[in-house]
Amino acid sequence: MGHGHSGPTVLIHISGGGNEGRGHIIRSSHLANLLVSMGHNVLVSFAASQEGLIPLWMRAPTYPIHMDVFRSQNPMKEARAFGFKPDVFVLDVMWPREDWLIAKRNAVIVGAGWSITDKVAAGADLLVYQTGWKVKHDRSVSGPEYLMLGPRYGQKPRQKSTSVLVSFGAGIPDIYARSCCEHLPEVVWPETGEMLYGLQVSSRIHAGSMGMSTYESMSQGCVPIVVSRSTDHADTARKMAGLGCLVNCGVIADCAPDAFVAVCRDLLVDDRLPIMAQAGVELIDGKGLERVAKHIVSL
């Protein structure tokens, strides 16, 4: 195992797809590719219970084709069986398991605040919170400067067109996207497998749901209007709305599709839209991936 790199070895274990969405997969592909470019040996494993993860990984925007991947019930144990002895173990899954955190092994947990329990946090050497606000916890990095966005999101935004990006994440009923496409002007949406960057840099607003793509859009001056699948996501959206970067419509139970469309229409003619767009650009510089990698390397 390994590809001739001289740096430390890193095992990254990922879940995603289905109701979990693609955020874990996409940000982990960015991290894996960057670590390889820095001279690390990287092995990637996927939750064995989730079919279709490897095809999603292969469609990630920075898919590292030169990397070994496998599906696993116990990633650390099986990696060792392959002859791969990681110096660092990175977990980016919805609910990390405490028994995966092995003593005397540098363990990094990537996730949102609600998915990191106290017991899991206690067993980690580094917590990387993917939230737009600061989380006070020992051995943690958090806030907009540590969001693991792709390298292109560190570029300055381009001049905007008048288009409206429509792209919702997992767990949001299809009727929201259909209503937006039918009733909003100059709508654009991603084709199957298409990444959002090209649409985010040219659109004024992003009609969608709270997730990693929300932060991506904000970094490019594309103002998100979001509805959330859970109260946890809605709480995140509420905090970001308080910073003036997006419009929060709450959970799907509180905002019907027609009401969501009405909010989008109002924002398009709101004089505050340019101010909100600039607030997002200033908050997220798109360089969080490099900062996270430096912390991992220093373990």
Rounded CA separation 294/34 (Å)? 10
Other beta carbons less than 10 A from residue 145's beta carbon: 16
* 105-164 pLDDT tens trace: 688 888 876 667 777 788 888 999 888 878 777 788 999 999 999 989 988 887 777 899
- Model's pTM, two decimal places? 0.88
Q: Parse the chain into domains and list their residue ranges.
A: 9-149+286-297, 152-283
**What are the residues whose beta carbons fall under 8 Å from the beta carbon of 17, sequence distance 6 or more?**
25, 50, 52, 53, 56, 170
pLDDT of res. 3: 47
Rounded CA separation 277/65 (Å)? 35
* 254-292 pLDDT tens trace: 999 999 999 999 999 999 999 999 999 999 999 999 999
Give the three-state DSSP class for 4.
coil
Q: Any idea which fold 9-149+286-297 has?
A: Rossmann fold (3.40.50)
Tokens, residue 265? 């229409």
152-283 under CATH 3.40.50.1980, yes or no: no
152-283 and 9-149+286-297 share a CATH fold: yes
* 25-52 pLDDT tens trace: 888 889 998 998 888 888 888 875 555 6
In the predicted model, is pLDDT for residue 233 greater than 50?
yes
